[in-house]
Amino acid sequence: MIRKSVFFTLLFLSFSALLFAETRKLRASRSNEPVKIKSDQLVTDNNRKMATFTGSVVARQGDLTIYSDRMIISYSDEEGGISSSEVFGSVKIIQGERRAQADHGIYDAKLGTIVLDGNPKVFQNSDTVSGNVITYFLDQEKSEVTSGQGSRVEAIIHPKGKGNDGKPAKP
């Protein structure tokens, strides 16, 4: 019995270490790619290490594309890159087969997450999840959805081949 416990504990720790290493590789590969941002207007403040993009903002890096009405980026002194950003209005995220939408989002570069609020939804193929706040993990096919006061998390999951038209849900 103890041998089985030790074996499963070691197996779990080995798997966790591999998953952590793979997540770091994904984050590192995307962070080595340039961030390309297009908008109608850009205002920079080098003293505060901030840049504000407004009007039909489209930001791309690797497999990730973020659309919004406004994006505020904060730069990091240590790494010289983006440490965080905040997006407002008509937020849409596209990453492979996953898509998300919300009214507002906050990106944390160290955690590799975007916290979405304001009617957030995440779509993958025809499946949808929604709630009060969704934490979208960029380097994992994972989202955490929480409900708010008086609301509940909702998931719509279509079984493959059971009346589903096979088309991805439209955000």
CA separation for the pair 57, 61 (Å, rounded) = 13
Which pTM was predicted? Answer: 0.76
Q: What's the pLDDT tens digit per position in 129-156?
A: 999 999 999 999 899 999 988 889 999 9
**CA 33, 38, 39, 40 torsion: positive or negative?**
positive
* Alpha carbon separation from 112 to 125, 135, 141, 149 (Å, rounded): 22, 10, 12, 27
CA distance 54 to 43: 9
The domain locations on the chain are 1-32, 36-156
Which CATH code fits 36-156? 2.60.450.10
- Calculate the CA 149 to chain-centre distance: 24
CB 117 within 8 A of CB 103: yes
Per-residue pLDDT tens digits for 51-95: 999 999 999 999 999 999 999 999 886 666 888 999 999 999 999
Here the tokens at position 25 are 């590789």
Residues 104, 91 contacting (CB under 8 angstroms): yes
